[in-house]
Chain A
Amino acid sequence: MTIDPDGHDLEYQHDDLGGASDERNASLGTYVLGLSLAILLTLASFWVAKTDLIYGPGIPVALATLAVAQMGIHLVFFLHLTTAPDNTNNVLALAFGLLIVGLVVFGSVWIMAHLNYNLMPTQQLMQMQR
């Protein structure tokens, strides 16, 4: 089982010709499907923001969920993030990036909410102690 070196050289040149790296995946259908899904999720977000059908305090959660879903659509259909071997490193880097983003955002909100509570203006604090 030896590989055909000529075949690989050809493939090298093919890969470096300068088309999109996503040539293999990119087609009009992919982009149209991604666009349709993104439009649907955007419309859903704007509808959720205006509706009274959803329990009020749940609306930010619904909006965050829709946003995450739409980001996933963009990553898969526009940025062509796949599970292919030449994409493994990208996915791992993304996972690490998400970890940092989660630490920064949730950590800040959590800590600052507690600080706000503990450093409440004196008047309010007095009222709470009553």
Chain B
Amino acid sequence: MSAAGATISTSDPYRLGSRGPNLARGHGGGGPASKRVVVGYGFWLFLLSDIVIFACLFATYAVLSDATAGGPKARDIFDLQRVAIETACLLASSFFCGIATIAVARRNQILTQAALIATGLLGLAFILLEASEFAALHAQGDGPTRSAFLTAFFTLVGCHGVHVTAGLLWLGTMMAQFYAKGFRPDIGRRFLCFSMFWHFLDIVWVAIFSLVYLVGTRL
């Protein structure tokens, strides 16, 4: 009996091929879904609601992107080289967050901390580049008050930047928790949420660099 169960679970981890009580957990068999799955689902719902907020900001930007009020147009102010470096930073940061996920699964403290430091430094580089772009625009008189286009631009990109900044603070607390408390289940779940948040920010940035910066330079 138990041998049969073992073979089923190795070849068919979700027990899709079996009937009756051997259904997948959370799907009619084996009791409710594990806490990890439930926590991940709850945080996923939060991320989707955040996506809706970003969708509103994207819609605002799309509507106002022509309302330059005689000020600079998108192609006059966007520096694609800086955007390329920002994109590389955030993508690499997301990758190192994945490395940290593997390290946490292996309970490897040194690798976890190192991967999280790399994640954080790349995220910080991204934020500094974005801040320098904003400062330069403001210095040349093209701040958010210049035109509706620039208001929408600063709101959308700035909102993403605020998210990344909050993510960096969260990252710091995660490093401290892994260091001080070790790989406890609850901390593992918190880290699951953090990694989802960080990958989600990269997805939003994909939309920003494609639809705001790259499209902006061609319109």
- Residues of A in contact with B (beta carbons under 8 Å apart): 1-4, 7-8, 11-12, 15-24, 26-28, 30-31, 34-35, 38-39, 42, 45-46, 48-50, 56, 59-60, 63-64, 66-67, 70-71, 74-75, 78-79, 84-86, 88-90, 93-94, 96-97, 100-101, 104-105, 107-109, 112
Inter-chain contact A7/B48, CB cutoff 8 Å: no
Known A18-B191, A75-B203; 4 more pairs at CB < 8 Å? A19-B183, A71-B207, A78-B94, A86-B33
Total interface residues in chain B, CB < 8 Å: 80
Max count, chain B CB within 10 A of own CB: residue among A19, A35, A75, A112: A19
Q: Which residues of B contact A (CB under 8 A)?
A: 1-2, 5-6, 9, 13-14, 16, 19-22, 24-27, 29-31, 33-37, 40-41, 44-45, 48-49, 51-52, 55-56, 58-60, 62-63, 80, 84, 87-88, 91, 94-95, 97-99, 101-102, 104-107, 183-189, 191-192, 195-196, 199-200, 202-203, 206-207, 209-211, 214-215, 217-219
Nearest residue (CB) in A for B62 is A109
Return the contact of B102 from the options A27, A60, A70 (Cβ within 8 A). Answer: A27
The DSSP consensus for interface residues of chain A is helix
